Amino acid sequence: MSTVIKSQTEVAKARSAQPNPRRDLSDKAIRNLFIFPTLVLLIAINVFPLIYSLYLSFTNYSAIANKQPVWIGFENFGRVLSDDRMWEFFSTTGQYVLFSVLLQLIIGFALAMLVRDKFFGSGLVTTLILVPMMLSPVVVGLFWKLMYNPTFGYVNYLLGFSNPSLAPDWLASRWAGQPTPGLALWAVIFVDVWMWTPFVMLLILSGLKAIPDYLYEAAAIDRASAWFQFWRITLPQVAPLMMIAILFRTIEAFNKSFDLVMGMTGGGPGTQTEVVAVTLYKQAFQGQWQTGRASALAYMVLIIIIAISNLYIRNLNRMKEGA
């Protein structure tokens, strides 16, 4: 066996010793060959747009106007900040983020506790719970739009409404024809919760499974009730992972809410479900194509997300020090 290996390496040596200019690429050349195309692509589609949009946020540029961008300083930012409707959109986004993340956390925790211990079919149940988060948000938005439909949707059917004119029209914020503000936002939040609770559950489940049994044994010896064990051991032990779940979901609820909301309501009725991501899209690509102003808004959202993430991460680090 060893002689075979030896002879193979010898063959390889002999081969590499032969002059073959094309094959004689140095390690460095190979490295560059792999890195440079990636680098070029990254700069072209990530770094350049990022910097260019920062520049555009200080101009009055419009992507469909055949004019060069003109520098106007902080005017875009000023206009965004002084736009009354903008605060409404941010408040809508805030409600969306707060309630969807909160509900995902509570339901996700409960589900994780349910599938934590093995039972017959627990693997299958866990897998089935995970299905929603594997779907495309746009597809989810579209089929929930159909489910919410007041005349032929399943939601009202399952809720027992037989007469469409008396039933809620969820995505239009109407109940039996009467305007009911908030209905559409809650309908969208519900779908977000439906879609992303599995993700939160998965993170919390991994946290739960990582808690060593002996902690519960010690707690049983220490005469802690199940409730006391939950509050004093389970929750603190899972807290760092919950923090990560919150972080991810907050960031995504800011950005990725776009797919769901656009798929279901397009921000409507009126502006009731218009989260910032949708506003951004409308300003940038609909109506006036205010590219400069949209860039300014996008940067402000970015700063907010970074600020929130920083708060979370600082909290997370403090928790990890404790663990």
Partner 1 sequence: MATIKLRQVEKRFGEFQAVKPMDLTIDSGEFVVFLGPSGCGKTTTLRMISGLESVSTGDIFLDDRKVTWLRPSDRDIAFVFQFFALYPHMTAQQNIAFPLQAEGESKDEIDRRVKEVVDLLQIGHLLNFRPGKLSGGDKQRVALARALVRRPAAFLMDEPLGALDADFRESMRAEIKQLHLNLNATTVYVTHDQIEAMAMSDRIVVMSNAEVQQVGTPAQVYYDPANLFVARFIGSPGMNLMASQYGNGIVRLPGANQYVVSPDWRMALGEGLDSDDVIIGFRPEAAHIKPDGNLVGEVYASELYGAYTMLHVELDGNEIVHIRSDRQTRYPIGSKVRFDLDPEMVRFFNPKTEMAIN
What string of H, E and C letters represents the secondary structure of 30-63? HHHHHHHHHHHHHHHHHHHHHHHHHHHCCECCCC
> Edge-to-edge strands of the sheet including 174-175?
168-169, 174-175, 178-179
Q: Which of 71, 119, 228, 285 binds partner 1 (CB under 8 A)?
A: 228
Point out which span in 120-128, 151-159, 194-202, 229-237 binds partner 1 (CB under 8 A). Answer: 229-237
Residue in the block written with tokens 């692509």: 41
Please state, in angstroms and rounded to a whole number, the distance separating the CA atoms of residues 298 and 279: 10
Taking CB under 8 A as the rule, does residue 24 contact partner 1?
no
Q: Is the dihedral of CA 297, 302, 303, 308 positive or negative?
A: positive
Question: Which of 78, 179, 236, 270 is the binder for partner 1 (CB under 8 A)?
Answer: 236
215 binds partner 1 (CB under 8 A): yes
The rounded distance, in Å, linking the Cα atoms of 91 and 181 is 14
Q: Interface with partner 1 includes 315 (CB under 8 A)?
A: no
**CA torsion angle for 289, 292, 295, 297 (degrees, to 10)?**
-90
237 binds partner 1, rule: CB under 8 A: yes
Residue 224: CB minimum distance to partner 1, A: 4
Measured from the CB atom, is 59 or 234 closer to partner 1?
A: 234
Q: Does 72 sit near partner 1 (CB under 8 A)?
A: no
Q: Supply the minimum distance, in Å, between the C-beta of residue 212 and partner 1.
A: 8
In whole angstroms, what is the distance from residue 163 CA to residue 295 CA? 46
Question: Minimum distance between the CB of residue 306 and partner 1, rounded to whole angstroms?
Answer: 28
Which lies closer to partner 1 via its Cβ, residue 203 or residue 296?
203
Name the residues that contact partner 1, by CB under 8 A. Answer: 214-215, 217-225, 228, 232-233, 236-237, 322-323
